[in-house]
Amino acid sequence: MRLLLERAERLEEEKKGIADDIKDVWKEAKARGFDAPALKDIMKMRGKKKEDVVAKQAILDTYMRELGMMA
């Protein structure tokens, strides 16, 4: 049991280190003039099928037009 706990603790430490590295990447993106939230959205989309992304964007566009958020 102790070994399992120690292994989980090490992994949690690694996870925190990786999370800190990711935060640094987003800070660097912002410093270079990029919109970090937009890049995060694109990153999420890249993991999905193109058809799913297109379908979701069509729904968002429809809803935004209905709400007067798009011309």
Q: For 29-68, how does the pLDDT look when each residue is reduced to its tens digit (9 = 90+)?
A: 999 999 999 999 999 999 999 999 999 999 999 999 999 9
The pLDDT score that the predictor gives to residue 48 is: 96
* 28 shares a domain with 4: yes
Residues 47, 21 share a domain = no
Same domain, 30 and 50: no
Q: What is the pLDDT of residues 7-28, one digit of tens each?
A: 999 999 999 999 999 999 999 9
Confidence of residue 71 (pLDDT cuts 50, 70, 90): confident
Cα 31 to chain centroid, rounded: 18
pLDDT at site 70? 86
pTM of the model: 0.71
Q: Which domain holds residue 15?
A: 1-34
Q: How does DSSP classify residue 1?
A: -
Q: Tell me the DSSP string of 12-71.
A: HHHHHHHHHHHHHHHHHHHHTT--HHHHHHHHHHHTS-HHHHHHHHHHHHHHHHHTT---
Instruction: Please indicate, yes or no, whether residues 21 and 42 belong to a single structural domain of this protein.
Output: no
Quote the distance between the C-alpha of residue 24 and its chain's center.
Answer: 14
* Domain identity same for 30 and 1: yes
